[in-house]
Chains A and B, each alone.
Chain A
Amino acid sequence: MTYIKDKQMSFPELADWVIDRTLKAGANDCRVNLSKRRTVEINYRDRKPEVIKEATTHGLYLEVFINNRFAGKSTPDFRTSTLEGFITDLIASASLMEEDPYRTLPDPKYYSGRSETDLQLSDPDYDKLTPEDRHAMTKAVEESCLLEGGKKVISVEAGEYDESYEEYVKSSNGFEGSTKSTYCQVGASMTAQDEGDRRPAGYNYIGCRYRSDLPSLPEIGTVAATRTLDLLGGKKIATTKIPVILENRGAARVLGDLFNPMSGGSIQQKRSFLADKKGKSIGSKLLTVTDDPFIPRGLGSKYYDGDGFPARRRDLLKEGIVNEFLVDWYYSRKLGWEPTSGSIGNLIIPPGTRSVEAIISDLPRCILITGYIGGNSNSTTGDFSVGIIGKLFEKGKLVQNVAEMNIADNHLNFWNKLIEVANDPWIYSQARIPSLVFEDVVVAGI
């Protein structure tokens, strides 16, 4: 074997070494990201382990800037003997690029002002999680799902996944940042026997930074089963114009279409239907979307973004009006704008006062959308179309489950149809969005 490990260096030591060698090799500037991730995954089916997987991986991502030319490259090989060649090659790659005056590291003045709040991203008890705990958690979820699913069960798969992650980032012009985080997810998916050959599958997987924040394991398994049983008998109905409710846990599937066109890159590249909408209304007064990166234990919480800019709380949309675009350093320079940060932390829509059940009971007829299939959104025009799965209600009573149907609209019309926000933000996601109620949506079926 010729593959010999170097003396171990800490992340800061290795980053300093890489920056030093990169500058000496001719780069004007550079930024290095070092990361390490440990993951464990256990899946059960038929009351026995189906998959047991463990992995520890690490990576080095280096970006070099040389005379307004740029290249970035990653490698898992931390040996200094091979990193020398890696750096030389990367600089050679960058030198082949065409000159782009906007390709620089950010002005260091934008690095200051980082929050020192403890975001509680890393569970202090993570290391206490044993293999036995993981098996026990998975079995508990599986059992409760099997119990609730009863005779309708064709198959139940339950799983536990956890990870610990750490990164260290340093640039040659003064940025330094580090993050440690943990994540623990558990859940189950169930397939049920329906009419004919239909075998609907539903699931419920819940993830948190701290294991202690998970709902009870029996509850997780039970909900996986009930969400599956709720799919039985799903059929399409005649094409109709009807109020729809996007269930909280899936609402980001449609809301998320707004953020690509709000990015500096889409705007500068003329691929945004929102480019001329800053300060203008694109939706109802209920459409306020806040980016809050400081929620303790939040799945999107962070201290800094990819440019090294300090995270900050901001309203992206305020009462239907586009308030702030997502502009990173590179595209801020191309646009001649101030950078605002190109990435999002946690998304929040202020919750309303009523439950989904209360809202449904007040509507003569509506569809609660609980799942999506396929679809796309055109960031240049705002047109979108997506398949839906859900439940049809009349006067608060379930009429039937619906499947194989579709909603389509233009976002500039659709968000004006938002008539109510429920009181149920979904906290197990980076998008902490309540259920959203829209009027007069064309739902295509028969």
Chain B
Amino acid sequence: MKPIPRRKFIQGTALAGGALLFLPSLKACKFLNANSSGNYFLDEFGIDEDLCRRLLAKALSRGGDFADLYFEFTVSNYLGLEDGKVNQSYGDISLGVGIRTVKGDQIGYGLTQELTEESMMSAAATASTLCDERITPVDTSFSKPQIGDYYPLAAGFNGIPVESKLPLLQSINQKCFALSPEIVKVNAGFQNSTKRILIATSDGVMTEDIIPAGFIYSSVVAERNGKREQAFWNLGGHRDLSFYTDDVINEVSSKAVNNALRLFDAVQPPAGEMPVVLGPGITGILLHEAIGHGMEADFNRKKISTYSSMLGKKVAEPFVNIIDDGTIPGLAGSINVDDEGIPGQKTILVENGILRSYLHDKISAKFYGVEPTGNGRRQDFQNYPIPRMRNTYMLGGTYTPEDVIRAAGNGIYVEDVSNGQVKIGEGDFAFYVSQGRMIENGKLTSPIKDVNIMGNGPKMLANITMAANDLEMSHGGAGQCGKNGQGAPVSFGMPTCLVKSLTVGGTQQKGGQS
């Protein structure tokens, strides 16, 4: 997990924002009634039920258990400020349909950017090549599932116009420079997208969604006595313009500035195993890496996850409860409906220390004989869905944060992290500490920075010995989880908690040798 550099924005699916400027080019002079009708793809591209039935029939024309269609239209925009000027606007349109045929755990997949019947039938034919059977065509009848509203939008929402974003970035620039004379460079950016999807499945689901996403960020460089340090902060998620208030601008500015300034006093912690206290909020990335990925059911179905044989077993102390939740309003990982047409929901991974459930897509749910959990997600229409996390967090405990820090004795305290990674089979994971402090004799002391922390998921879970009563969710929007080459927005939550022992990757051996 780390902030997405500008190039990624350009290459990625989604730059949003200029939506109001863009849309007339898609269908001349017709503005859209955003989220009210639920018939966007019918109105704009003529995608009706009959056409969907024909495409699904084609996808299943050589056999298969089920097929689905995923139509996507995403308008994205990135606006950037550098050297005091909002001087960069990058945008992207993503439009197309992905067609999937599934038989058991096998997938045939075709896609096209042209929403003509000819092109779509060709994509469906590609997907159908997975199978080679004689079958009787099924005539699908559709119904709309009841789905949530976890990113409520103002009526007529149609993206965030460029004009509204410009003053926000200028305000960040002014605030950052005003906060400290040691700030020498400020970069700020506003990335946002508006994604519209239509899902139609051969088992009778047809549903639409409109998904706003994005974040605003500040990245600053500070200089003191010829030394430079940098820091970054962002806020966002599935939000419309109303989220980006003065308070948000103030937090994005002050967090980046204060974090950068603090690094001038940072020291390298000793290398090796020691107690680690995770501060509240974004440190939940540890759960994402240490347990979340290992609980994605595709890895378990294939028996390549270290958690494959642990379902129903004790994996942590009884106070540990870990949840993956797609229903928290506005967070980056929330979903009204997943990308297979299953409504967004909340899934308990660990309950009172016992491993309870994997995260399922339709393929794995069928394999395990359970209901899908709404975790079938995909980056865009060019990719088929796979089990992915949403917002992953641990419930708070009974201690105060001070209790937890005191109990650590000597170790490190982690405040901000990036770049998590896990090896699914071993359970070994890493995450990078960009902000933290030393803990000496039960008290927070010098700042630390740029340290990688290593651990093993199952061992780490068993080593969580205390949790405080201060669960906090991360409200960043820049977090992208990568899996099988696909990005997906996710978020995290964590109370202050103590992990008895993890490996800290410093440059000094214990005892002060360097």
1/0 contact trace for B470-494 toward A, CB 8 Å?
0000000000000000000000000
Alpha-carbon distance between A103 and B223 when the two chains are bound, in angstroms: 27
A374 touches B429 (CB 8 A): yes
Question: A55-B382, A444-B506 known; A89 and B452 CB under 8 Å?
Answer: no
Partner of A51, one of B25, B46, B92, B109: B109
Let me know if A93 and B129 touch, CB within 8 A. Answer: no
Q: Across the interface, which residues of A come within 8 angstroms of B514, CB to CB? A: 442
Q: Chain B nearest CB: distance from A240 CB in Å?
A: 7
Do B449 and A96 touch (CB < 8 A)?
A: no
Per-position 1/0 for A136-165, Cβ under 8 A of B:
000000000000000000110100000000
A-B contact count (CB 8 A): 303
Residues of A within 8 A of B507 (CB): 408-410, 442
Question: With a CB–CB cut-off of 8 A, which chain A residues contact B110?
Answer: 53-55
**Contact in complex: B87, A48 (CB < 8 Å):** no
Q: A191-B425, A375-B452, A444-B271 are in contact. Are A155 and B25 (CB under 8 A)?
A: no
B22, B451, B513: the one contacting A89 at CB < 8 Å is B22
B31 at the interface (CB under 8 A from A): no
Q: Does B140 contact A (CB under 8 A)?
A: no
A85 on the B face (CB < 8 A): yes
What does the 1/0 interface line of B127-139 toward A look like (CB < 8 Å)? 0011000000000
Q: Which of these binds chain A: B200-208, B244-252, B299-307, B331-339?
A: B299-307
Partner of A200, one of B92, B107, B426: B426
What residue in chain B is nearest A240 (Cβ atoms)? B509
Contact A406 B505 (CB under 8 A): yes
| CB under 8 Å from chain A, chain B span 159-199 | 162-163, 166, 184-185, 187
Interfacial chain B residues near A52, Cβ < 8 Å: 107-109, 129-130
Tally chain B residues at the interface, Cβ within 8 Å. 104
In the complex, which residues of chain A have a beta carbon less than 8 angstroms from the beta carbon of B310? 197
| Residues in A whose Cβ lies below 8 Å from that of B45 | 1-3
- Interface: B37 (CB within 8 A): no
Q: Which A-chain residue is minimally distant from B81 (CB atoms)?
A: A98
Interchain CB contact (< 8 A) of B304 among A50, A90, A191, A446: A191
| Stretch of A109-117, A244-252, A296-304, A376-384 on the interface side | A376-384
Q: Which of A13-21, A69-77, A345-353 contacts B (4 or more CB under 8 A)?
A: A69-77
**B357 is an interface residue with CB less than 8 A from chain A:** no
For B228, give its contact among A96, A381, A403 (CB under 8 Å).
A381
Contact with A along B387-423 (1 / 0, CB 8 A): 0000000000000000000000000000000111111
CB distance from A56 to the nearest CB of B (A): 8
**Contacting B510 at CB < 8 Å: which of A236, A239, A386?**
A239
- How near does chain B come to A440, taking the closest CB pair, in angstroms? 10
Q: Which residues of B contact A194 (CB under 8 A)?
A: 426
A405: B residues at CB distance < 8 A? 454, 503, 505
Alpha-carbon gap, A56 to B45, bound state (A): 20
Chain A positions within 8 Å of B307 at CB level: 197
Known interface pairs A73-B93, A442-B514, A445-B503; 4 further A-B residue pairs with C-beta atoms within 8 A, sorted by A's residue number: A71-B90, A157-B302, A270-B185, A376-B432
Q: List 23 A-B contacts (CB under 8 A).
A: A3-B114, A50-B105, A51-B384, A52-B129, A53-B107, A73-B89, A73-B92, A76-B113, A77-B113, A82-B25, A82-B27, A89-B22, A92-B21, A94-B89, A192-B425, A197-B427, A200-B423, A200-B425, A240-B509, A375-B452, A408-B452, A408-B505, A446-B503
Interface residues of B (CB under 8 A from A): 2, 10, 15, 18, 21-22, 24-28, 45-46, 77, 82-83, 85-96, 105-117, 126, 129-130, 162-163, 166, 184-185, 187, 221, 223, 228-230, 268, 271-273, 302-310, 382, 384, 418-432, 434, 449-452, 454-456, 458, 503-510, 513-514
Please list the 3 inter-chain residue pairs (A to B) with the smallest Cβ-Cβ separation, ordered nearest first.
A374-B430, A85-B25, A406-B505
Interface positions of A (Cβ within 8 A of B): 1-5, 45, 48-58, 69-77, 81-86, 88-90, 92-94, 96-100, 103, 131, 154-155, 157, 191-192, 194, 197-201, 231, 234, 236, 238-241, 269-271, 334, 373-376, 378, 380-381, 383-387, 389, 403-410, 442, 444-446
